[in-house]
């Protein structure tokens, strides 16, 4: 969305996305896009990392129960997203 609207954002995305074709890109833009990391914050803090982010804008495009190694059920995943929101 940002790139298509001329914002040329920096980004840090897990995996290898099709667009922009790389997991990280650093630009001179004031905008930076981060993918929410659901894994532990630290050994002593088992909460997910992303609720600690302080974004100006958040886009949640889906909620899938794929991190079954972290969350025991869908309700616990939904709860961490409610903390973020």
Under 8 Å between Cβ of 23 and 14:
yes
Specify which residues 37 forms β-bridges with.
Answer: none
End-to-end CA distance of the chain: 20
Decide: 17 and 23 in contact? Cβ < 8 Å: yes
Confidence of residue 20 (pLDDT cuts 50, 70, 90): low
- What are the pLDDT digits (tens) for 36-76? 777 778 888 878 888 888 888 888 888 877 777 888 888 98
* Res. 19: pLDDT tops 70: no
């Amino acid at each position: 969305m940002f790139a298509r609207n001329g914002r040329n954002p920096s980004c840090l995305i897990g995996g290898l996305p099709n667009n922009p074709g790389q997991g990280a890109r650093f630009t001179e833009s004031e905008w930076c896009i981060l993918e929410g990391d659901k894994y532990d914050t630290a050994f002593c803090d088992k909460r997910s990392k992303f609720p600690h982010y302080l974004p100006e804008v958040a886009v949640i495009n889906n909620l899938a129960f794929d991190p079954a190694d972290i969350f025991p059920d869908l309700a616990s995943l939904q709860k961490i997203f409610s903390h973020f929101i």
